[in-house]
Amino acid sequence: MVRKKQAVFAIAKLMLLLLIVVGIPLSVYLNHPEILDHFRSLEALNAFLDRYKTAGIFVYLLLQVIQILIPVIPGQALQLAAGYMYYFFAGLGLTLLGIALGTVVSFTLARVLGHDAMVLIFGAEKMNEYVIHLNSKRAYMVIFLLYLMPGFPKDFICFAAGVSEIRLIPFLVLSLIGRTPALTLSLLIGKMTRIGSYTGAIIVCVIAAVLFLLCIVKRKAVMDFSDRLYEKLSKE
């Protein structure tokens, strides 16, 4: 009886996995292919959000959650649109809320579906490599650095964290803090584009590129520092 329940539960998890990974994207592509056209340019995305007026806020939140769950929608395009549509502070608040909701959902979903299901989606080698890092003493620093680096594909980490030993709240807090610098730059570019400050937008892009290079060049030094700090604290 126990084995039968386990088999039923495993099949149910597999069906849910297929629904999320295959069913939802396929349904959108077949029934509403025009939706994808809204993400081909910043102007098209802004027009799409503006069409819903006040309700566009909830549409944006939903899109941000979906982008975390199924990263076929470019996250940076959404953030540029948020800066353009809602300016900086409102855009920052909405984006962080949407990212937080998407992170909680993806983390919880991975924990419910389990390690085997995540391996089916992302592959054993990639998944196991991330889980090992997330279960190490460097886990918090690794999370912060990965989310800090602009342009790094981050949404996969939510699923890996869900099947690791790390707890949700520390992961959520560190990921949001790590995302904020790059997110701030994207929102500023969107805002400056709206007000016509193209020189300012170029300057922000240069700053983002410099920060990205610094993260790459100095990542070993930061990791070594985190190791020394961990060793020191563990002895006290």
Locate the domains of the chain by residue range. Answer: 39-235
H or E stretch at 15: helix 2-18
Task: Please tell me the predicted confidence (pLDDT) of residue 11.
Answer: 64
Mean pLDDT for 201-227 is 68
Quick one: tokens of 234?
Answer: 């563990």
CA distances from 47 to 62, 85, 138, 191, 225 (A): 17, 9, 43, 15, 46
Let me know: does 215 contact 153? Beta carbons within 8 Å. no
Let me know: does 184 contact 150? Beta carbons within 8 Å. no
Whether residue 92 is predicted with pLDDT greater than 70 in this model: the reply is yes
Mean pLDDT for 195-205 is 72
Task: Please tell me the predicted confidence (pLDDT) of residue 236.
Answer: 47
- Reported confidence tier of residue 234, pLDDT bands at 50, 70, 90: very low
- The pTM (predicted TM-score) of the whole model is 0.75
* Of 133-142, 169-178, 217-226, highest mean pLDDT: 169-178
Task: Please tell me the predicted confidence (pLDDT) of residue 97.
Answer: 95
What lies within 8 Å, CB to CB, of 3 at 6+ separation is none
Whether residue 90 is predicted with pLDDT greater than 60 in this model: the reply is yes
Orientation angle between helical segments 155-162 and 139-148, nearest 10 degrees: 160
Task: Please tell me the predicted confidence (pLDDT) of residue 233.
Answer: 44
* Tens-digit pLDDT profile for residues 38-62: 556 666 677 777 777 677 788 888 8
* Environment class of 78 (CB within 10 Å of its CB; exposed 0-12, middle 13-18, buried 19+): buried
Return the number of other C-beta atoms located less than 10 Å from residue 13's C-beta. Answer: 15
Return the number of other C-beta atoms located less than 10 Å from residue 198's C-beta. Answer: 11
* Of 52-61, 72-81, 121-130, 157-166, highest mean pLDDT: 157-166
Looking at every residue in the chain, the average pLDDT score rounds to 76
Mean pLDDT for 109-131 is 81
Dihedral over alpha carbons 88, 90, 91, 92 (to 10 degrees):
80
Higher pLDDT, 31 or 135: 135
Whether residue 77 is predicted with pLDDT greater than 90 in this model: the reply is no
